[in-house]
Amino acid sequence: MWEDTPPSISTTRESSRERSQPSDRHLSLPPTEEWRDSDLAPESRSKSKAITRRSHRKSRSGCQNCKQRRIKCDERKPECANCTKRRVRCDYAASLGASSSPSTCFNQNPHDFCVSEIELTHHWSTSTCYSMSMWPTGAIEGRDKIVSLGLHHDHLLHLIFAFTALHLASCRPTRFEEYVAKADRHYSLALPSLTTELASMSPDNCNAVFTSVQLVCFLGFARGPQPGEYLAFGHGRSEWLIMFRGIKTTLQTIPRSHFTEHKLPHEKARHRPLPRETEPPDYVAQLEDLHSYVEFIAETEGQRDGNTNSVDILKEMFHNRYTPKDSEYHVAFGWLYRMDEGFLQRLQNYEPGPLIIYGHFTVLMYDMEKFWYMKGWTHHIMSGIYAALPNDYRPWLDWPMRQVSWIPP
């Protein structure tokens, strides 16, 4: 039995030195506040430290920021605690982005990503969607349903972000490059999944695909005029025209009845007429003269039919605009939508008839320059037509040039 008072440290040390044989009794020292690590023998002290030492995570690698600052890194992913606290980019976030799918990770600081996308979502809901329609009611309905649809289809959500980023770029010139970079990133993230869904159209995804294809066309406008690109023709293949014609292909793939649930804002107020515009002077007589002229210069029956048919449709578009019957300015692109492949190929080949007719179409485009994404396009296209048209045919551009207030350089 132990005595009431514990043995002294010296007694314990002496006893242990004197005894060379194991004792019959097992000695265990009762805990007391008087015991200190420094009073123990070296071997006991090391054992005590091994028991009482508190463990911690020790990193010999860590992220680059922690290495440079010579501090411990907890190696937490997607970014360590130190980088999160200092709000700096962590190596782990970058490595995670490289191994993740593009649609779920954007290879940037998660905090920055959240703020960026919240900004884009807010601007889409409060401003950008309203710029796609003449009518607030159409914009509001389209705003909510399009975003809701985008939550189930990544490509649509990315295209909404891309288009909104370009809108912000036009509104904030000092941050132009920043917003254009965001638009490019979201556009590149949208294309793979959009291409995949285009190849497997079904009633389940047709609304999202149809809306995304239209947004790609709007993005083409929003990027602004590019040298040698004039929407319906240009130096080389017109990427915008290919995607625009893809709208027609999309509608032909799935029965039209499936495309009623979701629409872009500019499609909503279909039966509400536009405010009456001042119609171009003598446009009826001008289009009649144009019809006769392009019929006369056609070299084959196929060219003649193509030329006259395109002018007939253009007459209809002018009549709907200035009667007025159209509910949106964008309806004018129905002319380009209804052109057959033969006519568009001749336009791409710079044939005089199609170029002159396209020049008259720009008069309808000019009204659309009230929208931020259409600014500059009319003069740019007219300059391309004028440059491509031989001198003998240029007088036929006098009337449309006056209507759009463009003069040759």
Q: What digits encode the pLDDT tens for the residues 191-233?
A: 999 999 988 888 888 889 989 999 999 999 999 999 999 999 9
Instruction: Note the pLDDT of residue 83.
Output: 80
Q: Are residues 190 and 317 both part of a single domain? A: no
Residue 300 DSSP label: S
Q: Are residues 353 and 317 both part of a single domain? A: yes
pLDDT exceeds cutoff 90 at 182: yes
Chain segment 283-335, per-residue pLDDT in tens: 999 999 999 999 999 999 999 999 999 999 999 999 988 887 766 778 889 99
Q: Are residues 217 and 332 both part of a single domain? A: no
Radius of gyration of the chain, Cα coordinates, nearest whole angstrom: 36
Q: Which two tokens stand for residue 107?
A: 């290879």
Range of the domain at 298: 283-403
Residue 69: band (very low, low, confident or very high) from pLDDT cuts 50, 70, 90 = confident
CATH number for the domain that contains residue 73: 4.10.240
Whole-angstrom distance, CA of residue 235 vs CA of residue 232: 11
Indicate whether 270 belongs to any domain.
no
Contacts of 178 (CB under 8 A, 6+ apart): 169
Instruction: Note the pLDDT of residue 258.
Output: 65
What is the chain's mean pLDDT, rounded?
80
Q: Are residues 223 and 132 both part of a single domain? A: yes
C-alpha closest to that of 372 among 199, 205, 196, 179? 179
